[in-house]
Structure 1
Amino acid sequence: MTTTRSALHRRTSFAPTGPLTPLSQAVIALLCLTGIAHAQDATLGTVTVDERSAPRQADVTGFGDLPLNQVPVSATVIDSRQMQDRGARRLADLTQFDASVSDAYNAAGYIDYLTVRGFVLDNRFNYRREGLPINAETSIPLDNKERVEILRGTSGIQAGTSAPGGLVNYVVKRPTETDLREVRMEVSGRGGVLGAIDLGGRFGENRAFGYRLNVVSEDLKPRAFDLDGHRELFSLATDWRLTRDTVIEAEIEYSKKTQPSQNGFSLLGNTLPAPVDPRINLNNQAWSQPSVFEGLTGTLRFTQAIDDNWRWSAQVGQQRLKTDDRLAYAFGCSAEGNYDRYCSDGTFDFYDFRSDNERRVQTAGSLNLKGKVMTGGVQHDLGIGLMESRVRNRFQDQAYNYVGTGNVAGTAIVPADPTLTTPTTNRDERSTELSLQDAIRWSERFTTWLGVRHTRLDRDSIGTDGSQPTSYAQGITTPWLAASYALQPGLMAYASWGEGVESQVVPNNIGYANAGQGLPALVSRQREVGLKGSKGSLNWQAALFAITQPVTNIDTCGNPVEPCTAGFDGQAKRRGLELNGDWTHGPWRLAGGMTFIDAKRVGSADTAINGQRATNVPRDVLRAQVAYRVAAVPGLEMQTQVSYEGRRNVLPDGSVTLPAWTRFDAALRYDTRLNGVATRWTLGVENLFDRRYWKESPYQYGHVYLFPGAPRTIRLAVTATL
């Protein structure tokens, strides 16, 4: 079913780490010693803006105080209104907003994976929440998120270790300045029902205390068979404005999702089969159990203005995850000696996979100082940060047992075997990161940007049976340089160069001689040049990029008959062009983008894949959204969404390719008042023409997967703001 299941790979997870580190203790102490702030005279101030006209900002860039159209990086910001209008439930639903973002093994009912600029993001290292690192090997709800920020490109100055494609940052909803009372109901699929409330406001003397409460409950009944489930969310964000200059913010989120997941399909021998009925779920045995994703996450942040130009902040956060990962798992064809695909006749090997009580806990603390200083008539926008993070993974033995032969029609019946036969790997990690950033404004037009981050890593792993203990430490420095020039008001040209570092762990698969061990960090490099324009309601960006990444042979070896030693194996190169823009004029709203990527493997020991296009990376992608307000019916808006993804390689040698596909979605939105209550009605249709197509073809850990596009799905939502 999943990359991790297919490889018996124990995803990095975190458990309680014992006493807090000195940095974490310092952060907590600073949060408590807020009395010093009362003597300050500077003002943080409260600014109320119209989100439709205000320049967007993105904390994920590392320059979150500056408008995104002035920062020499590429990023997308998707706000809560966009997510709600599109009925987005999970991160995978957000691919429709960015042409540089596509799926990367996004199975219904499971965790989300993203490909950005042709690279799969690492769920252990490429995700942030409120700027602090989190583990994304879980189901992360969007209902309480104010926005999701997606950085495109290397992220060496934003993160200690991460895959080179980009970085995702979740920003939670915070207290509102005016009272908010919002209730939402939605029906979709075969009768799935969602109920949600969103409450916010301020109270107390001088309205010093703020709150934001989100509660969600949903019965999941998608059109796919054997995929019914349930999810719930409770989140609370608060703040306390001690003075005009001092703010304490605290938030906590609890979520739980219980739902079976959907098996991927595969090649039938050497044949790419016609797209199947997307409602078929091969995970349909009588003994199939749902996967359970449970999470408790919270942060505490203290912000203090020193004067008009300087402020500092301290933040600490923790994420606790518990997962029961289960699947009647279709994988390989031993009858034909093919472990990377299904049999020619449509049968496959069936396994009973169960990995219960996976525990992941991550604790992080940060100190940040930001401000402006003048030196010799040159302005510096400075940022200094110190972050420390501890992770700890604790697992139990798991079941991965052959139970018989299945078929792609989903009619086979096989017995269960939940015997815990396979050890997994527990891991610990400690990282300390020191970062420095400086935007040097030489004139009103010309700015140079400097950034560097030094990361100290300490990692340990050991099998749950006490076997294969490993340990290593490493220091990494990742620089970033850029220059920008304002050609005219609202038009900026820029160029940048930077490095990023990622870390990989060999899967717990009998096909690897060094299963479960961590590999030394890999250094990737990126060059980018671009233009950013903004005039009135028109915003656009064009960017050319080139990324080089050292890669391993993890995805191309792993044969259980002849185990290989996982290690480095050449490079992956991505060169591409991105075009993005949005425009509002009268009743029209248009937004979209195009991305063209040349993705190649070079220097591999397997000469058959050198020069070939990377698997599951479309050659070109188009996303477009068009909305029109109907003047004859005040409050009525028609929306259309089109997504196109070009051909992609299914196999590393390019011998099988997946055809291009196009999908249309549509929606009607009607804003009105019922008995004085502002009400929004939305009728949406996904896959308007009910087209059958293969959505993606991830090739991971030595196996080919094929995932069909979702069937036509209708949803009706109503939101009342009291």
Structure 2
Amino acid sequence: MASRSRFHFPLTRRRVPAACALLCVALAAQAQTADTAPTTTLPTVSVRAQGSLPASDIAGFGDVPVARLPIAVTSVGQAELKDRGSNDLRDLTRLDASVSDAYNSVGYWSQLTVRGYVIDLRSNLRRDGLPISGETVLMLDNKSRVELLKGISGMQSGVSAPGGLVNLVVKRPDADVRAASLELRGAGNVMGTVDWSTRFGNERSFGLRVNATAERLDPELHDARGRRHLLAVAGDWRISPDTLLEAELETTHQSQPSQPGFSLLGDRVPSAKSIDPRLNLNNQPWSLPVVWDADTASLRWQQRLAGEWRAQAQFVTQRLKDDDRVAFPFGCSAEGNFDRYCSDGSFDFYDYRSENERRRNDAWDLNLAGRLATAALNHQLRFGVQGLRYEARFQKQAFNFVNEPGRIDGSAVTTPQPLADDDSTNRDERRTEFYANDAIQLGAGVGLWLGVRHTRLERQSVTTSGTEPTDYDDSFTTPWIAASWQLSEPLMAYASWGQGVESDVAPNRPGVYGNAGQPLPAAKSRQSEIGLKFEQQDLRWALAAFDIRRPVYGDLGECADADPSDCRRGLDGAARHRGIEASAEKRFGAWTLAGSAMWLRARREDSVNASLNDTRPTNVPARSARVLVGHELRALPGLNLFAALSAESDRTLIPGNDALTVPSWARWDIGAIYTQRLQGGQRLVWRAGVDNLADRRAWQESPYQFGHVYLYPMAARTWRLALQADL
């Protein structure tokens, strides 16, 4: 960022960005005298147009490159995550226009919306292709890339929300690595990491990779200091040229107070400019941090068979423990509104504590994949069986009204009410899925892609007091079909259709629902998609149009009087999302341009509540865009500059009310990456950046959560500086 000193930063901490600029000037001057060979490679800043994207683990078609798949897939590599200062899964919202926030609170687990649908934390997340729980903090320090499959995922997951799947790909000991880094962020956030990998033994048949991270969390948000650490070990044994055994273990810990949202003030949307984004309403003397502990391990065996066939067996297990605690603002009893704050800026405060939550997630997969020729057709087949066991065990929780009201200026001091006497719900799930995929080459560049998955599901739940039990099982089949046509070597057209499914049970409350505790009809989503993909050495673009219809569960009948003879839980119409996605990456000499955009028309339809029909979903922008411009300074080899724009249109706040919205927003981030090559092959990589350059004040998202409107402000301007040493 050698030339960034001309920017003016009207901050209290003006010396910080100025120091970043001066440091980059010094680095650029040093580059003129360092033993640095000129480079003509693309900048590492969000630019992937150099060669083909790798095959996707989550797509289900083996080694087929992403550019040849009739599926919308985004893959974000480790270098790109580092260049953009991304340490959290929620940072995908800055990298892809189809992804937006869904109740993303500092100190809490990440929640994402894809194509307008909130992904399910228990069904839409994968680790090396196997299902995991996202009900914890998922750290990226030992991940080589993050994959996002957009749209209906019934072929890859028997039960899941229709937005898409997120897959975390673990780093493996594929090469010798000796890397360490130190990052400073904001006022006092400090992170150190080590990445070490080696191969040893006869013919280097054994591999070992260790990743370690320790971070002092001190964001710009007040009253949110904490800490986190990660230790991960991955090893493999290449038993023979045809046999590979892999194992890995990861343990993580994070302790940090979380961030409640702001809200409507009576019937008024407060101006984001009047709110300090650094203010944390969870600032009571009795506020405690949310603590996340997670242990994850996996084992994978791969065997090459005769011809081009391969067998694989894989297992992953998670052990999660957390203490979920917050001084929680919720509603305004003084004005009889329980979905917003009071018009004078006060609100009801609750002492929420759920200690010693424990979750266990075990998943396994056995599959056989290979190629088969029949007459004039070539098949790429994959079929197998996958299993999942999930259980969640809780203690009684506290959700107690605090007598004194809170205030949005953070000035209130209240009395804790920690008695834990409220029931939680323990849950169990067993799932077995049989699946088969076939990619058929018909000749003349035409392909037919088929997939089907049959799922058997068992679910049970009961309160911690042993009351309100539910127990049900179900089975369903989700097919998928696509056709592709290679119009030319770089250009492919495709069309696809598929189904996904979600399953639920009516709450076991006999005094409220006439069908309490009974299984509900499976909610089968459908998606149609057509698209174009183009890829050459210096240009890549994609265009897709999609139409997704997802059934919605709701209360049917006269439920206001709590008479079970008049109220039932069931399917109540659907949410239909139709949209167009576009993405492109292009190099113009020393310049690179990358970006994505999405236009979305999301509406409710066929609800028994006529006021909901043809209205927008809450917290979903109709238009969004991400643009990145990178420049490689050829006069100073190794120095790359970039500027990134994120923009989203307005969001609605309350179901059935399109008139009440938060305004659209746009923000700029800037950064610089300087690669300094040393004698002996070592290198130093310096990274500097400023997020939210103009210190924009805006409501970044407006989740309607727990029947309540919340508003989350855009984070204040934050600087970062990192040094990575590759030895």
State whether TM-score is above 0.5: yes
Change in Cα spacing, 1:465 to 1:101, as seen in structure 2 (3 Å) is same
The alpha carbon displacement at 1:659 in A equals: 0.8
Q: Does 1:719 align with 2:724?
A: yes
Q: Deviations over 1:489-536 (max 9, x none)?
A: 111111000000123577899997699987553110000000111122
Corresponding residue of 2:351: 352
Q: Deviations over 1:518-565 (max 9, x none)?
A: 755311000000011112221111000000000123899999999976
Change in Cα spacing, 1:453 to 1:372, as seen in structure 2 (3 Å) is same
Q: Which letter maps to 1:141?
A: M
Q: Deviations over 1:644-675 (max 9, x none)?
A: 00122112221301111001000011111457
Aligned counterpart for 2:270 among listed residues 269, 273, 279: 273
Structure-1 separation of matches of 2:508 and 2:393? 14
Structure-2 separation of matches of 1:407 and 1:309? 66
Q: Which letter maps to 2:210?
A: L
Corresponding residue of 2:394: 395
Structure-1 separation of matches of 2:186 and 2:67? 39
Q: Does 1:697 align with 2:694?
A: no
Structure-1 separation of matches of 2:49 and 2:670? 24
The alpha carbon displacement at 1:308 in A equals: 3.5
Q: Which letter maps to 1:428?
A: D
Structure-2 separation of matches of 1:517 and 1:714? 53
Q: Which letter maps to 1:432?
A: T
Q: Does 1:456 align with 2:456?
A: yes
Structure-2 separation of matches of 1:194 and 1:562? 56
Q: Does 1:257 align with 2:254?
A: yes
Corresponding residue of 2:598: 595
Corresponding residue of 1:534: 535
Structure-1 separation of matches of 2:279 and 2:509? 28
Corresponding residue of 2:362: 363
Relative to structure 2, which stretch is displaced further, 310-319 or 547-556?
Answer: 547-556
Corresponding residue of 1:42: none
Contact 2:49 2:538 in 1 (8 A): no
Q: Which letter maps to 1:522?
A: A
Structure-1 separation of matches of 2:648 and 2:160? 26
* Alignment of structure 1 residues 654-665 onto 2, 5 Å: 654-665=658-669
Q: Does 1:383 align with 2:382?
A: yes
The alpha carbon displacement at 1:394 in A equals: 0.7
Change in Cα spacing, 1:629 to 1:515, as seen in structure 2 (3 Å) is farther
Aligned counterpart for 1:672 among listed residues 672, 676, 681: 676
Contact 1:578 1:596 in 2 (8 A): yes
Q: Does 1:195 align with 2:200?
A: no
Change in Cα spacing, 1:555 to 1:318, as seen in structure 2 (3 Å) is farther
Q: Does 1:182 align with 2:172?
A: no
Change in Cα spacing, 1:469 to 1:507, as seen in structure 2 (3 Å) is closer
Structure-1 separation of matches of 2:159 and 2:365? 16
Contact 2:556 2:568 in 1 (8 A): no
Structure-1 separation of matches of 2:561 and 2:54? 50
Relative to structure 2, which stretch is displaced further, 499-508 or 370-379?
Answer: 499-508
Structure-2 separation of matches of 1:625 and 1:393? 42
The alignment partner of 1:69 has SS state of: helix
The alpha carbon displacement at 1:54 in A equals: 3.7
Relative to structure 2, which stretch is displaced further, 709-718 or 578-587?
Answer: 578-587
Change in Cα spacing, 1:708 to 1:206, as seen in structure 2 (3 Å) is same
Structure-1 separation of matches of 2:254 and 2:168? 18
* Alignment of structure 1 residues 306-385 onto 2, 5 Å: 306-385=305-384
Structure-2 separation of matches of 1:362 and 1:603? 36
Q: Which letter maps to 2:245?
A: I
Structure-2 separation of matches of 1:71 and 1:474? 31
Corresponding residue of 1:26: none
* Alignment of structure 1 residues 565-714 onto 2, 5 Å: 566-652=569-655, 653-673=657-677, 677-714=682-719
The alignment partner of 1:282 has SS state of: coil
Structure-2 separation of matches of 1:316 and 1:703? 39
**Which residues of structure 1 form unaligned runs of 5+?**
1-49
The alpha carbon displacement at 1:364 in A equals: 1.1
The alpha carbon displacement at 1:599 in A equals: 0.3
Q: Which letter maps to 1:605?
A: V
**Which residues of structure 2 form unaligned runs of 5+?**
1-47
Structure-1 separation of matches of 2:601 and 2:141? 36
Corresponding residue of 1:38: none
The alpha carbon displacement at 1:87 in A equals: 1.2
Change in Cα spacing, 1:194 to 1:556, as seen in structure 2 (3 Å) is farther
Relative to structure 2, which stretch is displaced further, 589-598 or 496-505?
Answer: 496-505
Contact 2:556 2:569 in 1 (8 A): no
The alignment partner of 1:94 has SS state of: helix
The alignment-based identity, stated in percent, is 49
Q: Deviations over 1:321-371 (max 9, x none)?
A: 001000000011111111111111111110000001111001111101000
Structure-1 separation of matches of 2:88 and 2:498? 30
Corresponding residue of 2:549: 548
Contact 1:555 1:700 in 2 (8 A): no
Structure-1 separation of matches of 2:578 and 2:429? 33
Corresponding residue of 2:31: none
The alpha carbon displacement at 1:58 in A equals: 1.2
Q: Which letter maps to 1:531?
A: L
Change in Cα spacing, 1:517 to 1:234, as seen in structure 2 (3 Å) is farther
Change in Cα spacing, 1:284 to 1:567, as seen in structure 2 (3 Å) is farther
Change in Cα spacing, 1:51 to 1:296, as seen in structure 2 (3 Å) is farther
Relative to structure 2, which stretch is displaced further, 513-522 or 421-430?
Answer: 513-522
Change in Cα spacing, 1:357 to 1:555, as seen in structure 2 (3 Å) is farther
Q: Deviations over 1:432-471 (max 9, x none)?
A: 0000111111104111111000000011111110111111
Change in Cα spacing, 1:554 to 1:680, as seen in structure 2 (3 Å) is farther
CA RMSD across the alignment: 2.2
Change in Cα spacing, 1:517 to 1:625, as seen in structure 2 (3 Å) is farther
Structure-2 separation of matches of 1:621 and 1:702? 26
Relative to structure 2, which stretch is displaced further, 566-575 or 502-511?
Answer: 502-511
The alignment partner of 2:610 has SS state of: coil
Relative to structure 2, which stretch is displaced further, 692-701 or 710-719?
Answer: 692-701
Q: Deviations over 1:220-259 (max 9, x none)?
A: 0001110000000000111100000100010111001100
Q: Does 1:229 align with 2:234?
A: no
Structure-2 separation of matches of 1:693 and 1:555? 37
Change in Cα spacing, 1:512 to 1:89, as seen in structure 2 (3 Å) is farther
Structure-2 separation of matches of 1:75 and 1:60? 9
Structure-2 separation of matches of 1:517 and 1:120? 25
Change in Cα spacing, 1:125 to 1:717, as seen in structure 2 (3 Å) is same
Structure-2 separation of matches of 1:637 and 1:62? 36
TM-score of the two chains, using structure 2 as the length reference: 0.89
Contact 1:99 1:621 in 2 (8 A): yes
Q: Deviations over 1:387-427 (max 9, x none)?
A: 11111111111000001311111111110011012101111
TM-score of the two chains, using structure 1 as the length reference: 0.90
Structure-1 separation of matches of 2:449 and 2:168? 25
Structure-2 separation of matches of 1:145 and 1:520? 38
Relative to structure 2, which stretch is displaced further, 495-504 or 561-570?
Answer: 561-570
Contact 1:447 1:485 in 2 (8 A): yes
